[in-house]
A = this chain, B = another copy of it.
């Protein structure tokens, strides 16, 4: 065991998107050992060369065994997972145990599901570490992040959006809403933030001007599923005529923060931590 750093060997359970690679490169830069479990059908956009194994989403027992063999003590979950098709789920013994627990929890959304998954890994002796503990700089700070300022009307839309998004989050439905002139144009559920932004180009008045507000769900375990925005979010927001983005300060991550702020400035979008 290493006592000179906050982290011993990290086991990264990686889903899709850009987040897993950000964590891997941060680990490499900080000299933290990392072992990656990739999940079939949910591969990250790219990853640096590190020790890794690719497993089926149902191979939970295998994952735990591998992490133990690799002497991993701390586990990070990062990246998105497509909802597995129950019929095609090939579960190993550990997977069956976990599914039994999940079924018992009778989840209606992601929160309870994640809590159950975390609990299962904890009971197997792992400490769960949040992505934000590794990517400290990525956590959104309060206040304006780029150069563009929201006007009064947009500030009001941010307030409406924050309130509604929190309530939508309480119901464990989604993390994001788009608001325009006080009206909720769209609510995110399973389609994700990009899907929400995309369809809202048709729904906005004058086809532009909406504000995206993304917050952490109340009750959401921040060790697993912090809301994230990145360059793709900014690109989509710009392409679909949004006027800006507000994300929860201390409750969300920005991937490639410098790049994201630069893009927002170039595209004339405001970007603000609220």
Chain A residues near B (Cβ < 8 Å): 83, 85-87, 106-109, 160, 164, 167-168, 171, 173-174, 177, 181-191, 195, 199, 202-203, 205-206
Contacts and interface: CB of A to CB of B under 8 A. Distances in A.
A181 B199 CA distance: 24
12 contacts: A85-B205, A85-B206, A108-B160, A164-B173, A173-B184, A173-B187, A184-B189, A187-B188, A187-B189, A190-B203, A191-B199, A199-B199
Contact of A184 (B108, B182, B186, B206): B108
Nearest to A113: B183
Q: How many copies does the complex hold?
A: 2
Contact of A182 (B107, B164, B181, B187): B107
B182 A106 contact: yes
A271 to B, nearest CB: 23
Given A109-B184, A187-B188, 18 more contacts: A83-B183, A83-B205, A85-B206, A86-B205, A106-B182, A108-B160, A108-B182, A164-B171, A164-B173, A171-B184, A174-B187, A183-B190, A184-B190, A186-B189, A186-B190, A187-B187, A191-B203, A199-B199
Contacts of A83: 183, 205
A174 B203 CA distance: 14
A87 to B, nearest CB: 7
Contacts of A107: 182
Nearest to A84: B205
Contacts of A85: 205-206
A50 B83 CA distance: 53
Nearest to A203: B190
A191 B186 contact: yes
A188 to B, nearest CB: 8
A83 B109 CA distance: 32
Contacts of A190: 183-186, 203
A54 to B, nearest CB: 23
A191 B185 CA distance: 8
Contacts of A195: 199
A43 to B, nearest CB: 20
Contacts of A184: 108-109, 171, 173, 189-190
Contacts of A87: 206
A159 B83 CA distance: 22
Q: Which of A160, A174, A202, A205 has the largest count of B CB atoms less than 10 A from its CB? A: A205
